[in-house]
Amino acid sequence: MDFFHDVMRQPAWLQIWIGWLGAINLSSIFFLKRPEARWALAAIATATLIITGLHAHYGYQRILGLGHVIVWTPLLIYLYRRRRTWWLETISGKWIILVFTTDLISLAVDYTDVVRFALGERL
């Protein structure tokens, strides 16, 4: 079964969250003049490839969070270090804050999931 079929079998709130993650990160395409947007777009593309590969090997398991851990951790460090360039009064600045906050929340769950998987917990 492919990843998207497995996602569609999850509770509605989780489907909405996964959709939000994809939408907010992919919306970087509207801000490609900003280096932060190019980094975010590269990160979501890379995370998708990693997650797809992990899913092919493990199925729908907590280990899928590793794709975000590997890619979004450096992305968030990069965005945090550039926080003075965000300029809250611009739309792109508000978008960066939204990406940063969304990905940070996701990473909290992803780190927990990866540790739980490493400790032997399966879905």
The number of CA neighbours under 13 Å toward the Cβ of 66 is 18
Position 85 scores a pLDDT of 82
Q: What is the pLDDT, as a whole number, of residue 31?
A: 95
What one-letter code names the amino acid at 92? S
In this prediction, residue 11 carries a pLDDT of 96
- What are 69-102's pLDDT values in tens digits? 999 999 999 999 998 888 778 899 999 999 999 9
Cα-flanking dihedrals φ and ψ of residue 84, to 5°? Answer: -70, -15
Contacts of 69 (CB under 8 A, 6+ apart): 107, 110, 111, 114
Cβ–Cβ under 8 Å, residues 69 and 43: no
